[in-house]
Structure 1
C-alpha cells in the first residue's frame, strides 16, 4: 500500500478506536463520522473543544431542536474541527437555516445542511437558497413523489457547489432514468446517485456507466437494495479521473487493511466498503469541499438510521 494512503488509513482507525474508548455509550458510526471530520481538517481530536461546542449547541437551540436531538456530538465536532469560533459558527448556521425555513419544514437533514454551510467560508446564503429552491421545484415538477425533508437537502448540497452546471436538472433526469430503467435501481437510490453524479465531470451516460461498473464489482444486488446508503460514495470515487483498475486495486488493499484492524470486526462488510471509499476519497482528492459535504451527509444519515434501531 502507498505510504500516504497507509498513513491516512492508520490515523483514521486509531482516531476511531480512541473515540470508542472515550465514548463508550456512543454509536460506532457516530465515532466514524467524528474521526472523518478531524481527518478531513487534518487535526487531532480535541475532546475538550467538542464538549465546549456541545454546551454552546445546548445553550443556542431548544430542547427539541434537531441539533440536540440527532447526533449532537457530530454537530459539535463539525464546529470544533474548524477555526471558526463556536458562537460565530452557530450564528452562520442559523442565518442559513432561516433562508430555507421560508419554504421547508425544520428537520434533521436541513440542520445538517445548515451546519455544513456554516463550516464553509464566504457563502451567500440567499443565493444558495434560491439555487436550491430552483433545483427542488424543477425536480418536483418531474417527480411528484419527492419529499421536502430529503430532496431539499440533496438540492442544497448541490447548490453549495461552486461549479454547478446550468443544465443540472436536465442531467439529473437523464441519469435518474438510466439508473432506474437500465440498471433497475430503486427510485430513492437512483435519485441519490444522480444528485451525487451531477457534481462529477463527464457526460451523464459515462458517469452512470463508470459508477455502476465499480458498484457492481464491489457489492451484491441484495446489499445495494437493502443498504444503498453504503454504496453512493462509490459514484464520486469512480468519476475522479483515476483509472478504474487503480481504484479497484487500492480499494482491495484498504479493505484488507480494515479487515485486520483490531476492533473493526464489529462493522459489517458494507460499512467497511463505505469506509474504504471515504479513505480513498481523502487520498485521491484531499481538502475537497464537495466530497466533505456529501461524506458528512451520508455518515450522518447512516448514524441516524442506527439510532432508530437501537
Structure 2
C-alpha cells in the first residue's frame, strides 16, 4: 500500500476511536462516517474541540429543533473540522432559516443547510434555496415514491453545480434507467444517479464503469453492497484513473480494515467495510493528482469529484440516520 493511502487508513482508524470514546452512545455507522469526514479533510479528531463544539451546538439550538436529530453528531464533527465553529454554526442557521421558506422541516434540512453554508456565500442562499426546491420538485416528478426528505441534500449539491436544470434531468434519468436493471434498491440507484450526474463524462460511460467496478470486485471475491454503498462506488467510477489500480487499492484497504478493531467478525459488516475502503481510496486519489491519469479533463474532473464525494458521504449519512432511528425505536 502506498504511503499516502496507508497514512489515510491509520488516521481514519485513529479518528474513529477518538470519536467513539468522546461520544459513547451514538450508532456505530455514524462513528465511521464522522471519522471519514475528519480524514477527508486531513485532520485529526480532537476530543476537546468536539466537546467544545457540542456545547456551542447545545447553546444555540433549541431542544426540540430538527438539529437535535440523529445526525447531530455529524454536524458537531463538521463544526469541529472548521477553524471557526461558532461562525460555521451561525452560517448554517442563517441558511436554514432561508431553506425553511422552501421546504417542510425535516432532520435532513440542517445537514443541507450546513453544506450550502460551506459551499456558497450568504448572498446566494436564497437563490440556491429556490433552485434546490425546484430541482427537488423535478426529482419528485420523476420518482414520486422514491424521492423523500433526504434527497434535499442531493438537490442542494446539484443546485450548486454548473449543470442546467435540463442537464440534471437528462443525466439523472439516463443514469437511473441504465442502472435500474443492475441493482435491487431503487432508492440506492436514485442516489447513485445523483452522484454520477455531478461528474464529468457521458452518462452511459459512467454507468458502465460503475457496473464494471462492481463486477470486477465480485469476481475477486469482494461483494460490494447494493444499498447506500452504491453512491461511493459511483465516485470511484468517476476517478480519472486506471480501474485495475483503483480496484487493487480498494482491496488493499479492505484487507487492512478487516484486521482493525470494530471491523472483525462481530463488527461492521463486510459490505459497509468495503464501502469505507472505497471512501478512503477516493479521498486519496482526489487529494493526490499524481495518482490520476492527468489530462485536460482530469483536472476539471477533480473539482467535480470533490462535490461528488460529498454527495456520496451524504447518502451514507442519510442511510445511517435512518438505521439509527430504526434501532432506537425497536
Distance in 1 between the 2:209 and 2:90 partners? Answer: 41
In structure 2, the partner of 1:305 is 322
Distance in 1 between the 2:199 and 2:184 partners? Answer: 20
In structure 1, the partner of 2:242 is 243
Quick check: 1:115 aligned with 2:111?
no
- 5-14 or 24-33, which deviates more: 24-33
Quick check: 1:43 aligned with 2:43?
yes
User: Is the 1:229–1:298 contact (alpha carbons within 8 Å) kept by the matching residues of 2?
Assistant: yes
In structure 1, the partner of 2:286 is 285
| Displacement of 1:289 | 4.0
Distance in 2 between the 1:102 and 1:211 partners? Answer: 37
In structure 1, the partner of 2:294 is none
Distance 1:263 1:164, change over 3 A: same
Distance 1:121 1:190, change over 3 A: closer
- 106-115 or 295-304, which deviates more: 295-304
| Displacement of 1:292 | 4.8
Provide structure 2 residue ranges, at least 5 long, that are not aligned to the other structure. 288-302
| Displacement of 1:165 | 4.7
Distance 1:309 1:174, change over 3 A: same
- 1:134-149 counterparts in 2 under 5 A? 134-149=134-149
SS at match of 2:77: helix
Quick check: 1:155 aligned with 2:155?
yes
Distance in 2 between the 1:184 and 1:279 partners? Answer: 23
Cα-to-partner distance string for 1:24-62 (whole Å, 9 max, x where unaligned): 333222221222222122222222221122122222222
| Displacement of 1:114 | 0.8
Provide structure 1 residue ranges, at least 5 long, that are not aligned to the other structure. none
Q: CA RMSD in A?
A: 2.4
Distance in 2 between the 1:179 and 1:25 partners? Answer: 37
SS at match of 1:264: coil
| Displacement of 1:299 | 3.4
Cα-to-partner distance string for 1:167-215 (whole Å, 9 max, x where unaligned): 12111111111122x4254322221111010011111111111111112
Distance 1:84 1:117, change over 3 A: farther
TM-score w.r.t. the length of structure 2 is 0.84
Distance in 1 between the 2:46 and 2:257 partners? Answer: 24
Distance in 1 between the 2:145 and 2:25 partners? Answer: 37
Distance in 1 between the 2:39 and 2:135 partners? Answer: 32
Cα-to-partner distance string for 1:121-150 (whole Å, 9 max, x where unaligned): 536212212222232223333333354413
In structure 1, the partner of 2:182 is 183
User: Is the 1:63–1:69 contact (alpha carbons within 8 Å) kept by the matching residues of 2?
Assistant: no
User: Is the 2:224–2:275 contact (alpha carbons within 8 Å) kept by the matching residues of 1?
Assistant: no
- 26-35 or 74-83, which deviates more: 26-35
Distance 1:213 1:289, change over 3 A: closer
In structure 2, the partner of 1:15 is 15
Distance in 2 between the 1:291 and 1:184 partners? Answer: 20
Distance 1:215 1:65, change over 3 A: farther
| Displacement of 1:264 | 2.3
Q: How many aligned residue pairs are there?
A: 305
In structure 1, the partner of 2:203 is 204
In structure 2, the partner of 1:294 is 311
